Amino acid sequence: MDIHEKAKTIAQDAIRLNNDINGNPRYYISCASFMDNNHDFYRPPYAKMYRGKKYGAGWVFESFSLENDIRDSLLASAFPMADSANTTEQLASNLLMKI
């Protein structure tokens, strides 16, 4: 499964939460969606920890374009040592070259 398909699957499983105080849409995503190859959970970039009790352990994304933000988060976590000068397009092209 490539990054685009995984991002689409995660976005479809996301649960819509109430907007934040500024009106930005928020989504809950289970922590099981973000596991590495060793079956360890990791914190995805651009996500905040879900602190409620209704849904259990997970992450909150504030996003108007959830699928794109999840894809960017997956790309950023695929290259944790990348410097901030790299753009998402460069990271994506590096990832495709390694596959």
Q: Which domain holds residue 7?
A: 3-98
Kindly tell me the sign of the dihedral angle through the C-alpha atoms of 30, 35, 40, 42. negative
User: pLDDT tens, 38-82?
Assistant: 778 888 888 899 998 999 889 999 999 999 999 988 888 775 544
Q: Is 67 exposed, middle or buried (0-12, 13-18, 19+ CB in 10 A)?
A: middle
What's the confidence (pLDDT) of residue 84? 47
Number of domains making up the chain:
1
What's the confidence (pLDDT) of residue 59? 92
More confident residue, 95 or 35: 35
Query: Taking all residues of the chain, what is their mean pLDDT, rounded to a whole number?
Result: 82
